[in-house]
Each structure stands twice: as structure tokens, then as C-alpha cells.
């Protein structure tokens, strides 16, 4: 039986603009079955967290615009477990919102925080890792991050530098530094040192630990929520959240809390993780032909074409000749043709439209 004191927060408010045009503001990538598994990314995330948390204890924080999508894709989820944000304010406010909702239900809850749009290939290992993490945070006043053992000098991920061991716990170490998306030379140095892990963006903590951290490092945010706790779980909650979000600044949990706190540690993990944040990661996770192309069309012909991503409606007939290292993507009558070397600019290109 799952522990009623285990809770999870799924963050599902992002647009996923680096995956344009497949992911867009109307229907971001978390609500899409990107890899053709039969389930969308948020459905997969929900199913993984159900392994360690009762369904009634899984909260989804999303944009007002996506509440209907959440209800459609997560059948049976309680309206009280869908937290609608009126404005995008990055991860710290959304985690604070869900944390106080959880605190009103359980004064000693253990909480998992996870993005809605990541890929995890080894679910059993992930479950074991979460249970180990919950055991740790339930007995220690620590903020725990899941760090991924790196397989390459990736410049698109954040890195966590490990420090000394936590006594009595295997694979858990104190955190020395956080580094966001290093250049190639620095990423190679990180891998060579053996002291760095990828930052998965998945966190675990006890509710009292994180509330204290919010009070220490984001007191203005805390005061906004605590001045109106009586409105949460009432018919005045939506109005209250709209009012305080208008006063809230956008700030990430990493910058607002983790990079400042002295009780942050990392659990070294390996469960087939990818943040599926870019077309590059999409290429890595999919099957390739003999020329390193990823293509999902049922009717196609490739001539002198290699290292490409071709993602179009399956019934679209497509011929590609003479391209190397390109992205060709079509969705909802929108077509992207872009060098894979320039995919960091896709968000900028999309916004220009």
C-alpha cells in the first residue's frame, strides 16, 4: 500500500517552444505523444508517480489555458488537485503554491517535484530511486535533487557538482555548485573530473524543509501565500491566486532556493532520463535508419540524405534529396526547415512569427 504521506507535484505549465512546431502554445509537448508510445508525456509522468504516491496525492500545476487538457488526459483527477496559474512565473511560485496546498492536507508530507515532459526509460529503477529519496528526506532536513550520471559532455543540461558523502547513505552527496548549460569546453572538463552530474530538475523534500527554505530565501513570496492561506481549498482560491500572482516575480526554484541553501544534496541516479527538451534529444531517443535519419512518415523517399529529423503527419508523402543534418517538421499547417546546428534559435524564429 502506498504511503498516504507521500505527495507529488507535477509542473505542467510550460510551452516547450524549443520543440516548435510540434509543441506550441495551444498544445505544448507535455500533452503530446511525441515518441508514439500511446500515452502523452504528462500521462507517463502521472503513471510513474502513481508507483509511490496515492493518486489523490498527485497535484498538477499548470496554466489556466491547459486545465481542460489536464482533465482530458488525466481522467479522474480531482479539480482540487489541478492548480491553475493565471500567469507564468517560473518554478518557484508554482512549487510554493502546491506546497502550501499540500501542507494544509498533511503537516509532515514528503514531496516529489517533477516536470511533466521528461522521458524515463527504466521505470522500476526510477521507482526504487524515488523510494530511496523519500526515505532520506523523511529522516533528514535536506533538499534532495536527483542527479543523472552523464554519458557525454552535453551543453544543453545544467550540471551539479558533488561534494562529500552524506553519512549512512549510499550515492547521496552534498552539493558544491550548480552550473547552468556550460559551453563545450567546460562540459568536457566536467565529465573528465567525475565530480558532476546532470541536473534532472526532479526534487524531493519534506514539506517543513521546503517551507523553511522559502522563508529563508524567498520571504516576499512566502508572505504572499501565508497571508491568505485561509483562501486555499475554498471557492475564493482562484481569486486569491490571481491577486498574488499579479504581485509575484518570475524566479526558478534553482536560483531562488537551491543555489543559496546550505542543506542541498544530490542522489546519483541512472534510470534512462532525458528532458526531451530539443529536437536533438528527440533524435537521440528514436530509431534511426542506416544514414542516421529519424523519420515518422509512412510514405517517404530519401535520396542522399543523412543525419536528418523528418517529423510530419504519418500519411504525408515526402521526398527529401540532398540534405544533411536538417530538421523538417510539420504540425497544424506549419512547417519548419532548419539546420540542426541552428536549433537553439527555433524558439526565437517561432516568436518572430
User: For 109-121, how does the pLDDT look when each residue is reduced to its tens digit (9 = 90+)?
Assistant: 999 999 999 999 9
User: For 20-58, how does the pLDDT look when each residue is reduced to its tens digit (9 = 90+)?
Assistant: 998 988 899 999 998 888 999 999 999 999 999 999 999
221 membership: H or E segment, kind and range:
helix 219-226
State if pTM tops 0.75: yes
Distance (Å, whole) CA 98 – CA 84: 10
Q: Are strands 326-331 and 334-339 parallel, antiparallel or unpaired?
A: antiparallel
Q: Could you say which architecture CATH assigns to the domain 6-274? A: Alpha-Beta Complex (3.90)
Is 284 strand, coil or helix?
A: helix
User: For 261-307, how does the pLDDT look when each residue is reduced to its tens digit (9 = 90+)?
Assistant: 999 999 999 999 998 888 988 998 899 999 999 998 889 999 999 99
Distance (Å, whole) CA 143 – CA 254: 11
Cell of 210: 521546503
The reported pLDDT for the residue numbered 154 is: 87
Residue 296 near residue 310 (C-beta atoms within 8 A): yes
Q: Where are the domains of the chain?
A: 6-274, 279-352
Of all residues in the chain, what percent carry a pLDDT higher than 90? 80
User: For 155-214, how does the pLDDT look when each residue is reduced to its tens digit (9 = 90+)?
Assistant: 888 999 999 888 778 789 999 999 998 999 999 999 999 999 999 999 999 999 999 999
Amino acid at each position: 500500500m502506498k504511503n498516504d504521506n507521500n505527495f507529488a507535484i507535477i509542473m505542467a505549465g510550460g510551452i516547450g517552444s524549443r520543440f516548435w512546431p510540434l509543441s506550441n502554445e495551444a498544445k505544448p509537448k507535455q500533452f503530446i505523444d511525441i515518441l508514439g508510445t500511446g500515452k502523452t508525456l504528462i500521462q507517463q509522468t502521472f503513471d510513474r508517480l502513481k508507483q509511490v504516491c496515492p493518486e489523490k496525492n498527485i497535484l498538477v500545476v499548470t496554466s489556466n489555458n491547459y486545465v481542460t487538457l489536464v482533465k482530458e488526459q488525466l481522467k479522474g483527477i480531482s479539480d482540487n488537485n489541478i492548480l491553475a496559474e493565471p500567469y507564468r512565473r517560473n518554478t518557484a511560485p508554482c512549487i510554493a503554491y502546491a506546497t502550501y496546498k499540500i501542507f494544509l492536507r498533511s503537516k509532515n508530507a514528503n514531496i516529489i517535484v517533477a516536470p511533466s515532459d521528461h522521458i524515463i526509460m527504466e521505470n522500476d529503477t526510477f521507482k526504487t530511486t524515488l523510494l530511496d529519496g523519500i526515505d532520506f528526506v523523511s529522516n533528514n532536513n535536506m533538499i534532495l535533487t536527483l542527479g543523472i550520471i552523464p554519458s557525454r559532455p552535453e551543453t544543453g543540461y545544467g550540471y551539479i557538482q558533488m561534494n562529500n558523502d552524506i553519512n549512512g547513505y549510499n550515492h547521496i552527496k552534498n552539493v558544491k555548485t550548480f552550473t547552468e548549460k556550460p559551453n563545450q569546453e567546460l562540459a568536457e572538463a566536467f565529465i573528465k573530473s567525475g565530480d558532476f552530474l546532470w541536473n534532472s530538475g526532479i526534487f524531493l523534500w519534506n514539506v517543513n524543509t521546503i517551507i523553511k527554505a522559502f522563508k529563508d530565501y524567498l520571504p516576499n513570496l512566502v508572505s504572499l501565500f501565508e497571508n491568505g492561506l485561509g483562501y486555499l481549498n475554498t471557492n475564493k482560491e482562484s481569486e486569491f491566486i490571481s491577486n498574488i500572482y499579479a504581485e509575484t516575480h518570475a524566479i526558478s526554484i534553482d536560483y531562488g532556493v537551491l543555489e543559496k541553501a546550505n542543506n542541498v544534496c544530490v542522489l546519483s541516479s541512472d534510470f534512462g532520463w532525458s528532458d526531451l527538451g530539443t529536437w536533438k534529444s528527440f533524435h537521440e531517443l528514436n530509431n534511426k535508419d542506416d544514414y542516421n535519419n529519424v523519420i515518422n512518415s509512412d510514405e517517404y523517399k530519401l535520396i542522399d540524405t543523412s543525419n536528418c529529423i523528418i517529423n510530419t503527419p504519418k500519411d504525408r508523402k515526402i521526398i527529401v534529396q540532398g540534405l544533411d543534418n536538417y530538421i523538417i517538421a510539420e504540425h497544424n499547417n506549419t512547417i519548419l526547415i532548419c539546420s540542426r546546428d541552428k536549433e537553439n534559435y527555433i524558439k526565437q524564429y517561432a516568436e518572430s512569427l
